[in-house]
Structure 1
Amino acid sequence: MDLEKDLTSKFLSGEMSFAEYSNEWYNFDDEEDIDEASKRNEDEPFTLTDKGLRRRRKFARLPPGLLGLMGEANLRFVRGDKDTAEKMCHEIIKQFPTAPEPYQTLAQIYEHDTEKSLQFSLLGAHLSPPDAEEWLRLAAISKQRDDYRQEMICYSQAIADDPHNFDSHLKRMELLDKLESMKYPIQTLHITKLKCYHKIVTSLPPSEGETIMKYAKLAVTQYHNNNEMERALAVMTSAYKKCPTLFNLEDLNIFLELLIGQKQFHTCIEIFVANAGVEIEAEIQTVKNAEGDIEEQTNYLNCSLPTSLPIDLKSKLLVCFIHLGAINLVQTLLNDFLSNDVEKAGDLYMDIEEALSSTGHHELAIQLLEPLVRNNSFDLGAVWLKHAECLYMLGRESDAINSFYKVLKHAPQHPDARRKLYTILESKGRIDEALQMLEQDFKYVVNANLLYEQCLALKKYKRWLKYLEVGEALLSKTFVRFKHPEELNIACKAKCGIDLIHNFRIMRGENQYHENDIHFDEDETFKFTPQEEWKFFLEMLDTARKFKKYCAMQRLTFGAMMSKSLSSHRMDIEFYCLQASLLNSDNHNAFRFIREFAQKHPSSRSWNLLNLIINYIDRNTHSKYLLRLFQRDSNNVVKNLFLGNNFLISGRYLVALKYYLEYHEKCRDPLSAFLIAVTLLVMAAQRTVDKHHNLILQGMAYMQTYRNLRKCDQEANYNMGRVYQMLNINNLAIEYYEKALACENITKCDQHGVIDLKKETAYNLYLLYKDHSPVMARKYLLNYLVI
């Protein structure tokens, strides 16, 4: 009651239109679901469903007390006392808002006010028992006011109240035609011509058979185009129940096809007997099913067909018998059917074959396929595929292989044919040929499922390089292949920003996709879970590393940065990008990743990697970065070492010396002393520097400090020899080189073997002796440098 009062109050106050009011009250789509229209009893009261209140609703009657007041209001109105009559009507509405009488009286009171009169009339008609004429009158008024939505509702209500009135249906369709020509948004009306057709079929009486058939055919055609087969069958069933005698052979053919599509084979048999002149002898047996329950089973014994029965109906009868298990009749009817010309009945052959194959009768199905594949008109991939599958199910694998090859001749990318050919060839031990069957041409649309199966097969037979190639192609379904260096910048800054990259390419006036992108079948449902994709990605990386395919490794890692499913592994992927760039000698991109990594994970390994990469890249690209890096963390012990190395390499020796001295004061290690000595000696070699001798003396002093701190005689003597050789003091250089040769090895490593400097030392001695003492030079060459 509260809902009724609220809705009525809003409508009367103008807060909602009648269309909105009606929709809130009924909440129906085209006054009722057309799928249920033929099932419902017209006199059935409304029920509460998940769609809300549905027609038909019970109509309210005034209680005796208010009924007397309503009579008094009508008398006052007749006598001309409109004000009192209006007050009485409003009092009744206040107490009982769903009674139609006060609204009808108010509509007459406000005859001078067209808008209010129409509102009260609509409410009165809405709350009154069925009155199609009243709704048609209100539709005419709405038409004059160009209120198309309200006019459409009035027609729908008139049809609901009197569904047998064909004129109401026609008027509604005429209004739809008018609105379509005006380009009115018809979807807002929740009514279409197709629903009108269906409603006509379910509403008109059997006496209007020709009209029913006309609109049933129109509805079925549109439903078929929309692939709504259940609705198409519903409208055809409704028409058949009302006028079965008007169904010609063409209509029967359509009806039977719809029934077969919904697997209603028993109904098909009944129609064949009732309308097509087919005589069937059958018996009903009582048997126990698998669950032990008693049920009836129909056994079809004999069948007699009229000579005039068209071949397409014969084929449908065969399909029904096949699905109903009447194989004894099928064999008899099939022999007669095979006498028909394949050229004309090839499609019907396929229908029967499909039914036989689906029920496991492959020995009968092959009888239909053999004449098809011998006919040039049916030399098609789909036919050869059926032929191949049937042969395979019959165990004729050699013949099946030939037929599958025929399929690939017509459809080279057919995944099912390639998959089954692989299975057969693998079982015969023809592994290379079987693996070749799984290959797809990436120029065409690719099946991801088959690509994954190819990966598994290649991994099974250890074809690792091909496995890497195919796996990279499969991952490209979610990975990105970059076209420009700027795209990698976007990937590093924005997580999973593939749309940003597409927009970037469009801004450059390019295609948003890479020219080497693989086009995957959009209808396919293959998809890795995030865990599966991560595991597969790691396998690809490991394979690329083992076989030193560093370019592929770098492509994989860069592409993984844009994968949404791998976004939780972003930090790991960035480190793999660093490794791949290092292995592929892409120092520019390696520097991009090591910068972030060194800041997030400061450690001796991070600094060593950073230093390694800096030594290989352009000298002008990292100086400012290092200054900013160590400006943030002034206590970092490697700050002076890094900056000193940077300035030494760039030729700013005094600045480098400053940082080395600061580092030496903090650490007092042999490396800092050695670097100071090298810097001083390099400065001494410059022409623009005064006091060369002082610099050389200071450099040699620090070399002695290095020698004392470095507890490795071979290395220390070797470096002392190098310094004297650089200063052209050859006698001292030879002395220290001889000492280095006499020392023990630096160390011994399980992975790299013996580590020493004897070859380097001997080569330097060879250089010192070769001009003045060739014999001595040859001695060192033969003793230490011959492999």
Structure 2
Amino acid sequence: MLLPTALPVEDMVEVGRGEEAIEEEVELGREGGLEDAEETDGEVEDDEVEEDYTLQFEGDPLGFVQEGDHEGTELYQHFERLEYEALAERKRKALQQCSRNGQAKKPKKDELLGVSMEEIEEMMNFGFRRRASSAKKRGRKKGSRNKLSPEVNIKIGDATLHYASGNYSEAIPILEAAVQLAPNLPDSYFILGLIYDAMNDRKKALNFHMIAAHLSPKDVSLWKKLVAWSIEQKNFGQVRYCLSKAIAADPKDISLRFNRALLYFELGEYQKAADSCNQIVSLYPANVEARKMASKMYQKCGQLEKAIGVLEDYVNDYPFEDDISIFDQLISLNMENSSYDKAVQLIEKAKSAFGPDKELPLCLKARNAICHAHLGNMEIAKDFLQDLRIGNFEDHYDLVNEVANTFQTLGQYHYALNLYFILSRTFDNEKATLNLNIGQCYASLSERGKAIPFYYKALSKLEDDIDARITLSFLLIDEGKDDEAISLLSPLKCSSTISDVSSTFSKPWWLSEKVKMQLAKIYHSKGRLEEFVDVIFPSVQKTLIVESMNQKLKARSKKRLSKSVLLERVKLLDDQQEDNVFRGFKPVATSSDLLKANRAKKSLEKQAALGDEKNVAAPSAGMDWQCDDSNEDATKEIQDLPLPGLLKDEENQQLLLDLCKTMVSLHRYSEALEIINLLIRLPNDRVSSEKKEELQSLGAQIAYITPDPKHAFDYARNMVKKHPYSISAWNSYYEVILRFQNRFGKHLKFLHQMRVRHRDCLPPMIINGNQCTMQSMHQAAAEEYLQAYKHQPENPLINLCVGTALINLALGFRLQNKHQCVVQGFAFLYNYLSICNNKQEALYNIARAYQHVGLVTLAVLYYEKVLAIQQKDFPISKPPNQDPDAPASHKPGYCNLHMEAAFNLHLIYKKSGAVDLSRKILKSYCTP
């Protein structure tokens, strides 16, 4: 059925009525079968804020049961005339009674016409009393109880009889008629709820009982019943609301407040649970359980001072009883707060309360030993050990183990060992853990020989204890048992066993991040490089791939959440009880979740509004383009990393760098480049900039070795970007460019960017001029070289390049003043010769230039000067991507130009006809 607009219940009850009339109607309804709750003065006000709720019907109060079966006056019209009809009905009944009985019985003064004198005076002075300055009295006025009409009483009585007889179908119409006559009477709704409950229609029964509870808000038993039913429906918002109403009806009922505190505890609202328990303490200060629970809740909230204060007040104000649990809890809280002095004082107080005849319980003895150990007094520890040797502690393993762990944490390993050995002789089930603790104590005392057997005993039962296995491997390495440590960390050899274990457990111990990292470090330290790469490379590769994908998903999620995520968050605000009369209870969730849900709701509303605008603006034929790509994003989720801590610390990042270097030494270049590229793309908060620079340098070395120059170009370009004025970086870059057979578009674009960004940088000008020379664009090459000459006129390389460019330009066909251009070219070459101080290389270049233009006589003269000079070898600078310690591959005499000069000279002699002289030159300089 369709339900009309929901309206608040408070409005339904109070429309057109004053407070006193409302109280009269509620009290009148109690006469039909519901008892009034006693009014209490000075009640403790509950701090729970009532939540908003709505009533899901208007008009006919029974409209949610059967639609269209009832016709009559609407509910709110009854409320508007309720004040007048109540007085008129009582007046008519009184007149009828008088006419029947005659004047035999004289009515009382207070019952004249069925209305008390106070009510008549109130109606006569209605306007004046409102302006009276006297304070209104709270509660129902004496004698103002409204009595039900006989017709309503008869209907309720008949319906009750039918209900008792089990004739539910006959009772329901009678009660519906009674509701039409007296809508504010709770008895009708209550009986209807009982009938539907007997008919196993719990939903309608709860609705009717909820209406009856609101019309009689002080009926605690009814609210408790609604609490139980709401728990069955798992509607925790309604549970909390009904509990708050029940507490408001009976503030002194401790069980209700305990139930609400437990509800908050189950929902994780520890602060509210603590406040509820604190209210019980304020009502009943001697309630020990409330204080304990409040203290535990404050402890979970991190408010140790409040947790301690709640228990301290009880210990100081009330005498000690046999129950020491409150002492134990208070001492534990002080120990957690590092207040060991106060804890010792409390233990002494408990000891005095027990008296000399009774022995202090073992729990307090254990607390005493721990506190004195923290305070540096180990004499109490000796006494505790003596008591354990004498007494029986079979039921107190946790206490003794806590003391032993405390001694171990404080560095008192000998005392801890004594306790662990005492426990191991008594508790067989805990021997694995005890052996592990004993091994840790021996390892801390540097007694590795004694620690190793206990670790092996512990691992025989605790195979999946990763930390114990790694610690044992360290101990074995320190003892020189490397092979034993490797076998301890290596996976099982039997493949069938591995598959069986993998199917049983989600992640076996040999797939753990820590185990793989430790095993890889052992292999690397021992020089077993193949095993090192095989162990760690697959996990590192998968981890870096997943990490790069997660970074992309995180960047997308920061920009906009997918629609599926928003819908999932909004589900928290949806009312699951849509067909109930009462709805709109506040969702039971944390404030952060509610905030996210409200934001998601607003975001969906905005998206819906934008979607409507697009639908209106776009034609119907073009609706297919409005596809939502959020489903594709929703299918991609952030995955777990195989090695979660791979990039967290500096040691692991150094291990990755060593892995890449090892793969280079093993000639696994493609795999090394893959790892380096994945690491470089990660943000700086994952990999430091220093490590990235090292990785880029290593990647450049690998790229120069690989046959494809495209990889090398990327690294060389990055090096040039970081060091734009480094000659060695530009040499490496130019070496990569020369490996491209055709023109490379990225190179030209990058070179232009560097020319624009760094206008005073010479290497881009020279490289661009060389590229133009290789393409026989001598005029453009001369322009580039002359631009560089303006910045450094004394640079020998620039003078050489300008001279050769001008000479090559002079040999062209379009230049008119060729002789002038040749003279200018030689002027730069002689300047280059003077700057180089007549070195062999400069003389050879001038001779080659003379030979090129046809001045062979001068060329012979300079070639002879070259042959007359003996040049020493000079070291050639290495690019930054190469290893500086690598041996030189050049043969001796690689800087001497005798062979080149002699060969060119023999060509001149041969062309001029001096064959014997040509043969002599070749035999002297060009043969071994």
TM-score of the aligned structures, taking structure 2 as reference length = 0.43
**TM-score, normalisation: structure 1:** 0.49
Q: Which structure is higher in RCO with an 8 Å CA cutoff and minimum separation 6?
A: 2
